[in-house]
Amino acid sequence: MDDTRRKMYQDQFEEDKLRYERESIAYEAQKKAALEAASNDTLPTAADLQTPAAGVTSAEQPRPTGSSPAPPGHADSAMDEDENMTDIEDAEEDEEEEGTDQDSGDNMDEDESGDDAATEDAKENDGTSVALPKQPSAPTAWHLSMFEIGKPLGKGKFGRVYLAQEKRSGFVCALKVLHKAELMQSKIEKQVRREVEIQSNLRHPNILRLYGHFYDRDRIFLIIEFAGQGELYKHLRKRGRFSEARAADYVAQMASGLSYLHKKHVIHRDIKPENILLDLNGLLKISDFGWSVHAPNTRRATLCGTLDYLPPEMVEGKDHNKNVDLWSLGVLCYEFIVGTPPFEDMSGHAATYKRIAKVDLRIPDHVSAEAKDLITRLLQYNPERRLALDQIQLHPWIRKHADSFVKRTSS
C-alpha cells in the first residue's frame, strides 16, 4: 500500500476514534440514560456502602473453567514484584485496591449463533451517539456526601461498583468502593497502589478513566468512568460469537488503546473480555489495571494474568515485555470470532499450558482467510515476531471490516 493510501487510512481511523468526542448531542442524554437504568431499583443510602462486598449477590456470569491466576478481584494469590511507582497519597493509604468490573447486573441469555451476529449488529446500534461529558468538578478534597449513590453495577472479591452522580455538576460516574481490611488480608495493597497510580495518568478514548479517589478509615473510593453497557464478556456470551465486522472494529479499538499504553511504557498484562467495557455509545474501554506495570526499559518475570491468555514466555517461566499484550490481543481476536479461547483444553490446566507452549492453534473453517492471517501473525511463539500494533490497524482484515462496521452502524 502506498504512503498516500496509508495516510488516508490512518487519518480516517483517528477520525473514527474521536468522533464520539466531536458529537454535538447534549450531555443530558447520557445522564438521562444512566439514571433511567437505575430507576427501577431501590437506591442504597451512603450507610449501605459500609457493608463488606461479601453481602452482595452478583448477576455476573462466571467464566468457564480453564482460567487460572487472575487479577485482583479474581485471583487467590499471585507473585508480587517491586515497582518504583510513586505513592498515591501520603500516610494512611498504605492500604488500597481493586474490587469490581462494572456490570449492568442483568442476566444474559446464553449463546446466539454467530451467523445472527451480523444482522444483530445493525439492529443494536441505531446510529445515535452520545457526546462524552465533561469531568466531574474538582474540589480540594472529595468525600462521599458529594455523591448521590445509585444501584450496584457489579462486585468483586474486594468491593463493589455503584452508579453515582456528583451533586454539584450532575456528572454521572461509577464509584468503586474497596474495603481496606480485605485488601490487607489478601496482601495486595501494592497492586492497588500501582493500579491507581497508573490508571489515573491515562487519557485515551479506549481506556477507562479514573477521575480521582478518596478514602476514610475503612474504605477506599475510586471515581471512575461509567461504562453503560458493562462488560464486553457478557455481550460475547449472549451472542456466542461476534460477526467479523464487529470483531474487527473491537480489535482496531484495542490496538489503538494498547498502542497508547505502550507509548506510555505501560504493559497491561491481563487483556481479556472481562476486562473490557463498553460505554453507552459502544465505545470500547480497557479497564482493570491490577496486573499492569510501568516498565520503561526492563523485562518482567512475574507470572500473572489469566491462563487462557498467557503467552508462551510466561507459561515457560521466561522474562517478558510489552509483546505479551500482542499475544493476548491475538487470543482476544480469536475468541471474538470463534466464541472460545484458542488454547482452552477441557481436560485441565496442564493440557492448556502445553497447547500454549506449542502454539497448538486450530482455527475453524468459518473464519475468513484475512482474520486467520491476523490471528496467526499475533500468536507467534517468538515475541519479537508478533505483528506490531501500528501494523494491526493497517491489516487488510481491519481495513475491510472496521470502517464498514462504523459506517453501517452509524448510518
- 224 confidence band (pLDDT: 50, 70, 90): very high
Residue 372 belongs to a domain: yes
The answer to whether residues 279 and 363 belong to one domain is yes
225 has binding-site annotation: yes
Q: What is the pLDDT of residue 308?
A: 87
Here the CATH number for the domain that contains residue 392 is 1.10.510.10
Residue 65 belongs to a domain: no
The answer to whether residues 401 and 305 belong to one domain is yes
Sequence-distant (6+) residues with CB within 8 A of 392 are 251, 252, 255, 329, 374, 378, 398
Average the pLDDT over each of 7-16, 141-150, 167-176, 246-255 and give the range with the smallest value.
7-16
- The one catalytic residue among 103, 270, 279, 308: 270
155 has binding-site annotation: no
The answer to whether residues 261 and 396 belong to one domain is yes
Residue 176 belongs to a domain: yes
For residue 293, the SS3 value is: strand
400 has binding-site annotation: no
Mean pLDDT score of the chain, rounded to an integer? 74
Residue 326 belongs to a domain: yes
The answer to whether residues 352 and 245 belong to one domain is yes
The answer to whether residues 174 and 315 belong to one domain is no
Q: Which of 213, 201, 208, 206 is nearest to 96 (CA)?
A: 213
End-of-domain residue from the set 226, 252, 282: 226
Higher pLDDT, 315 or 78: 315
The answer to whether residues 207 and 274 belong to one domain is no
The answer to whether residues 245 and 283 belong to one domain is yes
- 189 confidence band (pLDDT: 50, 70, 90): confident
Helices 244-263 and 324-338 pack at an angle, to 10 degrees, of: 170
pTM here is: 0.67
Task: Report the percentage of the chain scoring pLDDT > 70.
Answer: 61
Residue 272 belongs to a domain: yes
31 has binding-site annotation: no
The answer to whether residues 325 and 219 belong to one domain is no
176 has binding-site annotation: yes
Q: Residue 320 gets which letter from DSSP?
A: B
The beta strands (E) that lie in 159-275 are given as: 159-166, 172-179, 210-215, 219-224, 230-231, 266-267
Average the pLDDT over each of 97-111, 113-127, 184-198, 319-333 and give the range with the smallest value.
97-111
The answer to whether residues 198 and 334 belong to one domain is no
Which domain, by its residues, includes 335? 230-410
End-of-domain residue from the set 192, 226, 260: 226
Average the pLDDT over each of 192-196, 201-205, 227-231 and give the range with the smallest value.
192-196
Q: What is the pLDDT of residue 347?
A: 84
The answer to whether residues 269 and 351 belong to one domain is yes
- 159 confidence band (pLDDT: 50, 70, 90): confident
318 has binding-site annotation: no
How do residues 305-336 score in pLDDT, each as one tens digit?
578 889 999 888 888 899 999 999 999 999 99
Q: What is the pLDDT of residue 128?
A: 41
227 has binding-site annotation: yes
d(CA 221, CA 377): 41
- 12 confidence band (pLDDT: 50, 70, 90): low
- 404 confidence band (pLDDT: 50, 70, 90): low
- 43 confidence band (pLDDT: 50, 70, 90): very low
End-of-domain residue from the set 176, 193, 226: 226
The answer to whether residues 396 and 329 belong to one domain is yes
197 has binding-site annotation: no
- 205 confidence band (pLDDT: 50, 70, 90): very high
Question: Does residue 92 surpass a pLDDT of 50?
Answer: no
Residue 125 belongs to a domain: no
Q: Is 270 a catalytic site residue?
A: yes
The answer to whether residues 313 and 382 belong to one domain is yes
How do residues 47-69 score in pLDDT, each as one tens digit?
444 444 333 323 333 343 333 33
Q: What is the pLDDT of residue 140?
A: 60
The predicted model gives 270-288 an average pLDDT of 93
Residue 118 belongs to a domain: no
242 φ/ψ sector (left φ>0, alpha ψ -120 to 50, else beta): beta
Residue 389 belongs to a domain: yes
Q: What is the pLDDT of residue 194?
A: 87
Here the CATH number for the domain that contains residue 170 is 3.30.200.20
Work out how many domains the chain is built from and give that number.
2
How do residues 362-381 score in pLDDT, each as one tens digit?
999 999 999 999 999 999 99
